[in-house]
Amino acid sequence: MLSPARNLPRGERQAALERIREALRCDLALSEGQLLRHYGMVPSEKEAHTVGLFIVPAVLNPSHHANRLMEVRFYTPFLWVSRLGPPLLRHLAGVGEMRHLLGARPHQWRTDTHRIHYREQPDAYWYSKLGPIAIEYDAGSYALALLKRKAETFALRFVGQYWGAPTEKKAHQLRVKLAGFGLEPRFVLAAPWW
């Protein structure tokens, strides 16, 4: 596990906590590694409790077919999210990492919380200046036929689409598959959630 705190001055620490809360209301769940990477700190248990965050410890693999386990803690402001299984928390954190990589502000982004939804619905919507963009995160479990359906449906319904995967290797595999359906490689991101 990561060291829970960097030595930020009190005022900077409080400002970082507020940015973390705003991000988590949008992303629903992020890992401690993401909080440290994007906000320069990980809230202590006391700080998390004070600002209304739940900490969810988990042991899971970084992607669907990975054969190694890692210990991680997820943070969320929602009790119902804290009760989701580790693979769903991993997925939400991966989608959240895509938002950070794309530079989308929380008010421009909506994460789809319906885990049982129409299969061609994206995981999130980015309301960019160009129009709505579909966001999809694949931890390595999508069949080729489903990738094709999603990519084609997104192309019809949105002004653009971005796909993400947890590792560069998975992102490369996804780029190769999606190129067959006309998606340029630059629209597939490696988005590690840990």
pLDDT in tens, 154-175: 999 999 999 999 999 999 999 9
Contact (Cβ atoms closer than 8 angstroms) between residue 62 and residue 137: no
Would you place residue 116 in the very low, low, confident or very high pLDDT band (cuts 50, 70, 90)? very low
Read off the pTM. Answer: 0.92
Side-chain-side CA neighbours of 179 within 13 Å: the count stands at 9
What is residue 115's predicted lDDT score, i.e. its pLDDT? 56
Residue type, position 158, single letter: F
Contact (Cβ atoms closer than 8 angstroms) between residue 59 and residue 70: yes
Rounded CA separation 146/152 (Å): 10
Question: How is the chain split into domains, by residue range?
Answer: 10-190
136: Cα separation from own chain's centroid: 10
Residue type, position 120, single letter: E
Burial of 95 (0-12, 13-18, 19+ CB in 10 A): buried
State both tokens at 128.
């960019």
